Amino acid sequence: MAGTAAGGTRQSRAAPYLLIAPGVLWLTVFYVVPIVSLAQTSVEVAGGPWWDGYQRALTGYGTHFFRSLRYAFAATILALVLGYPLAYVIAFRAGRLKTLLLGLVILPFFTTFLVRTFAWKTILNDGGPAVRLLQQLHLLAPDGRLLDTTIAVIGGLTYNFLPFMVLPIYVSLEKIDRRLVEAAQDLYSTPRGAFQKIVLPLSLPGVFAGSLLTFIPAAGDFINAELLGSPNQQMIGTVIQNQFLEVRDYPLAAALSFVMMFLITLGVLAYARLLGTEELA
Amino acid sequence: MTIPDTTESESRRTGADPADGVIVLERVVKRFGEYLAVAHADFAIGRGEFFSLLGPSGCGKTTTLRMIAGFEQPTEGRILLEGRDVSRVPPYRRNVNTVFQHYALFPHMSVYDNVAFGPRSQKLDATETDRRVRELLDVVRLAAFARRKPSELSGGQQQRVALARALANYPSALLLDEPLGALDLKLRQAMQGELKRIQREVGVTFIYVTHDQEEALTMSGRIAVMNEGRVEQIGTPEEVYHSPTSVFVATFIGVANLIPAVVEQANGAGASVRVAGSLPVAVPAGTWRLGAGAKASVMVRPERLRLSAAPPGDCVSIPVTLEQAVFQGPVVRCLLRAAEGSEIVAHVGPEQILPGLSPGLALWVSWEPEAARLLPP
């Protein structure tokens, strides 16, 4: 096929669009359409003003919203504190054990979310090993419980989302050219200084990605609170699920969803601002 | 810009005075497990020298450089910096700086912050830091690029930033690990000139690792030729080129003819050997001790050979057959075969072109006795 120069350009110009077409199609059908439909549902109030759903969402469930955000925030911080050193050791110190350690981080994923959380229920049970250990260390009252507490819920959230924090941080640490650390030491920086000035800033994109992948799903989670918490720890995810599937108050449920999405987006934007978007590129 | 230093005379600054050793390697050996990377490196580098470590891949030159920098520690022996034993001192406590092969510029910092990194790590005050950064950026002629990020610079510019970043610390010595390897030929040649200029201006000792013998000859005050972990020879470019002490050095730098010979007799001033079976030939004796009957190689550079139809009286000459004559511009490269089979390459100029240089021609190749060197086989 002898194409003219113009024909060749036309063909290669179309190629990128053709390549992303399936992805865009998938997004449109499974994301854009449902979101639009959900938005419509949130304002289709039978026998009331269109904002009724939102009004009830904001007035009745403020506690749940902020509790969810608090729990998700706490879980994210904990996951960061636990996950960053783990990712660092795997990337910089693991040597031959690297693949094994990464495998161990991912291993929990071979069981479902539900089963893992159930396992925690067993571990944190009254009279179980965790409770007894803490009672022996006098960190817990003799009649104290771990289940049905905020600690249990946050712990569960942290545990379930830890790999989501570790893996992006690991990837961004792995990408760092080791010679940069050598160069920093050559230029009179101690190993600690090299970490602070070179490794840490260059790993921020991973920290940002990991934080998002932890915070956003954790905020909307409903399993951990259900299984490990009491009604006092109920998160917005449970409420939304309840409203959709049992109470069937669709405008309220949809409104709750959108309000939560909005709050999460605000949080993410604030975080991105904090880290400085250039460095995350 | 000159770096404040304590030596007095100009000759010490520019010359090779190993007695004034800024860096001394004493019987340094480096092993990685079973593998011997550096065997008995023992030499001194003088203040203000441009000293090159030259050799093929795997010869131990980079390992030696890294030991001087502090990224590796010698298995045996000591390394002295300004008279102080720094063998176990980490890199951030040695007053030497490295220009890495792929620059290792900090991608998240501007050119200015990269160059300021060393002074700031040493807690110099802001005014002095700023003065040094501006001074070095001027030396490398990149003052206008201070706010740019490394990703916005070309390869040659990045290399100059790496240089400025290292020099901003006024090190006792600058270590350069094949810094021009990633550049194209024209840029490399331009940068060679730049590096020489900067070294002269700044007066810092440069220790330069390269596998490119032309580069080493062009730039160095002295060269240490290394092979398989051993330092074969240390000398000025002229010394290693005209008076190599081993076959490896002779063949690694430039082209060398190696004619097998047997020593007939030797005294302090010279030796006579028999080449090509039975021809007596006089050569200056090298530092190598020879005995009668020892096998050796007579080394002559191609450009020191002359061709003639009959043996000229005052030179050493042997009969050869011309196999090939290739025109290469400034010289004609002639492939000659001696009677007992050894191959000789001669580079002859236009005045040497005898009429009818055709394959099969019987000729005499000759050289002045002082042009040859006697090497261990």
Out of A180, A186, A202, name the one closest to residue B97 (CB).
A186
Asked if B92 lies within 8 A of A186 by C-beta distance, the reply is yes
- What would the two tokens of residue B367 be? 């050289």
Distance CA B348, CA B365 (A): 11
Residues of chain B in contact with residue A182, where contact means CB-CB under 8 angstroms, are 71, 91, 98, 100, 104
pLDDT at B130: 95
pLDDT at A12: 76
pLDDT in tens, B243-302: 898 999 999 998 999 888 888 777 666 677 776 655 666 677 666 677 777 788 888 999
pLDDT in tens, B80-120: 999 899 999 999 999 999 999 889 999 999 999 999 999 99
Task: Report which listed range, A35-39, A44-48, B118-122, B357-361, is most confident.
Answer: B118-122
Distance CA B209, CA A61 (A): 69
Pairing of strands B270-275, B230-235: unpaired
Asked if A189 lies within 8 A of B69 by C-beta distance, the reply is no
pLDDT in tens, A17-28: 889 899 999 998
Residues of chain B in contact with residue A202, where contact means CB-CB under 8 angstroms, are 107-108
Residue A201 sits at the chain B interface (C-beta within 8 Å)? yes
User: Could you give the C-alpha distances from A217 to A164, A205, A222, A265, in angstroms and in order?
Assistant: 10, 19, 10, 12
Confidence of residue B125 (pLDDT cuts 50, 70, 90): very high
What's chain B's average pLDDT? 86
Over residues A142-155, the mean pLDDT reads 86
B83 residue type, one letter: G
CA B245 remoteness from chain centre? 14
pLDDT at A91: 95
pLDDT in tens, A218-240: 998 988 888 888 888 888 888 88
pLDDT at B8: 34
Cβ-based interface (< 8 Å): residues of B facing A: 69-71, 90-93, 97-98, 100, 102, 104-108, 117-118, 121-122, 165-166, 169
pLDDT at A278: 59
**Distance between A175 CA and the closest CA of chain B, angstroms:** 12
Residue A198 sits at the chain B interface (C-beta within 8 Å)? yes
Asked if B92 lies within 8 A of A180 by C-beta distance, the reply is no
pLDDT in tens, A85-113: 999 999 999 989 999 999 999 998 898 88
Q: Cβ neighbours of residue B6 under 8 Å, at least 6 residues apart?
A: none
pLDDT in tens, B144-196: 999 999 999 998 899 999 999 999 999 999 999 999 888 888 888 888 988 88
**Distance between B377 CA and the closest CA of chain A, angstroms:** 42
pLDDT at B240: 94
Enumerate the domain spans of chain A.
Answer: 1-42, 53-279
- Rounded to two decimals, what is the model's pTM? 0.79
Out of B102, B107, B121, name the one closest to residue A187 (CB).
B121
Q: Which residue of A has its CA nearest to B93?
A: A188
Interface with chain B: mutation pick from A175, A176, A180, A188, highest number of B CBs within 10 Å: A188
Q: Are A211 and A165 within 8 A, CB to CB?
A: yes
pLDDT at A9: 63
> Residue written as tokens 């690694």?
B252
Give yes or no for residue B11 having a pLDDT over 50: no
Asked if B117 lies within 8 A of A279 by C-beta distance, the reply is no
- What would the two tokens of residue B140 be? 């490398």
Distance CA B333, CA A230 (A): 93
Give yes or no for residue B4 having a pLDDT over 50: no
Distance CA A188, CA B20 (A): 25
Asked if A183 lies within 8 A of B98 by C-beta distance, the reply is yes
Percent of chain B whose pLDDT exceeds 90: 53
Q: Which residue of A has its CA nearest to B117?
A: A187
Give yes or no for residue A66 having a pLDDT over 70: yes
Q: Kindly list the structural domains of chain B, giving each domain's residue range(s) and its CATH number in brackets, ordered by start.
A: 21-95+171-242 (3.40.50.300), 255-375 (2.40.50.140)
Pairing of strands B295-300, B96-99: unpaired
Asked if B92 lies within 8 A of A188 by C-beta distance, the reply is yes
Cβ-in-10-Å burial (0-12, 13-18, 19+) of A41 comes to buried
CATH 1.10.3720.10 fits A53-279, yes or no: yes
Cβ-in-10-Å burial (0-12, 13-18, 19+) of A141 comes to exposed
User: Could you give the C-alpha distances from A115 to A138, A244, B182, B270, in angstroms and in order?
Assistant: 30, 24, 54, 90
pLDDT in tens, A178-197: 999 999 999 999 999 999 99
ipTM of the complex: 0.79
Handedness of CA A26, A27, A28, A29 (dihedral sign): positive
Distance CA B208, CA B217 (A): 12
Residues of chain B in contact with residue A205, where contact means CB-CB under 8 angstroms, are none
Confidence of residue A251 (pLDDT cuts 50, 70, 90): confident
Distance CA A62, CA B337 (A): 98
Main-chain phi, psi angles of B234, to 5 degrees: -125, 130
Give yes or no for residue A242 having a pLDDT over 80: yes
- Angle formed at CA A160 by CA A157 and CA A165, multiple of 5 degrees: 95
